[in-house]
Amino acid sequence: MDDDILETLATVGPRLRAVREARQSTLTQVAQASGISVSTLSRLESGGRKPTLELLLRLARAHDLPVDQLLSDGPTDDPRVQPEPIKRNGRTLIPLTRRPGGIQAYKIISPPSRAAPELQVHEGYEWMYVLNGELRLRLGELDLILRPGEVAEFDTHTPHWFGAAGSRPVELLTLFGPQGERLHVRARPRA
């Protein structure tokens, strides 16, 4: 086996232990979450067993991390996330989550537009929080204006469109669940 590969595999055990300890998890808890026995996990962490792709995939899923994070440290000089903005339909989307699947978070900057709203329908569930400016949200028959601090939450099977209301851009945070995951709000509003 290539020396670089052996060196990478040798660092996986200590990395697995560091991830588990940082999350204050026991070997038993990780075993339950991953379906890997406690003895196998212990041998992986101590370097007594080399990780297979199957084991790495299970552990990445259990820790909710990309597999590459278990294989390499990555840059440690600057801990800030440097997301690449995405330009789509005149909007700027800045991804705030880096893991695949599940709920995705974005900061969206939408410039003013003169185009007529074109309602769309797709799989998922969306939550929006207005940071700055005014947001126009068309949701079925509703035509709403949301201001900073206001929130909207809806099933994206409902015909919808959103954009800046007026002549200034709008900035918002959005959480999007592609499989229709609903957000779980723990606080209850006052009666």
> Is 182 within a domain?
no
Kindly state whether residues 49 and 90 are assigned to the same domain.
Answer: no
pLDDT digits (tens, 9 = 90+) for 113-159: 888 888 999 888 899 999 999 999 999 999 999 999 999 999 888 99
Instruction: Indicate the number of domains in the chain.
Output: 2
pLDDT at position 18 over 60:
yes
> In the chain, which residue ranges form alpha helices assigned H by DSSP?
3-22, 27-34, 38-46, 53-63, 67-71
- On whether residue 191 sits in a domain, the answer given is no
Using the 3D structure, point to which of 48, 71, 94 is the last residue of a domain: 71
Contacts of 123 (CB under 8 A, 6+ apart): 156, 157, 178, 179, 180
User: Are 90 and 173 members of one domain?
Assistant: yes
CATH of the domain at 34: 1.10.260.40
Q: Which residues pair with 144 in a beta bridge?
A: 137
User: Which domain range does residue 42 map to?
Assistant: 3-71
Residues 105 and 52 in one domain: no
Separation of first and last alpha carbons in the chain:
66
pTM over 0.75: no
**29-69: pLDDT as tens digits:** 999 999 999 999 999 999 899 888 899 889 888 888 888 78
Q: What is the pLDDT of residues 176-188, one digit of tens each?
A: 886 655 554 544 5
Within a domain: 62 = yes
Does residue 111 lie in a domain region? Answer: yes
Across-strand partners of 87? 92
The CATH number for 171's domain is 2.60.120.10
Residues 166 and 90 grouped into a single domain: yes
| Whether 65 and 97 share a structural domain | no
Pairing type for strands 170-177 and 104-110 reads: antiparallel
What rounded mean pLDDT belongs to the chain? Answer: 84
Assigned token pair, 169: 């851009």
81 falls in which pLDDT band (50, 70, 90)? low
pLDDT value at 77 more than 60: no
Are residues 62 and 93 part of one domain?
no
Q: Residue 80 domain-assigned? A: no
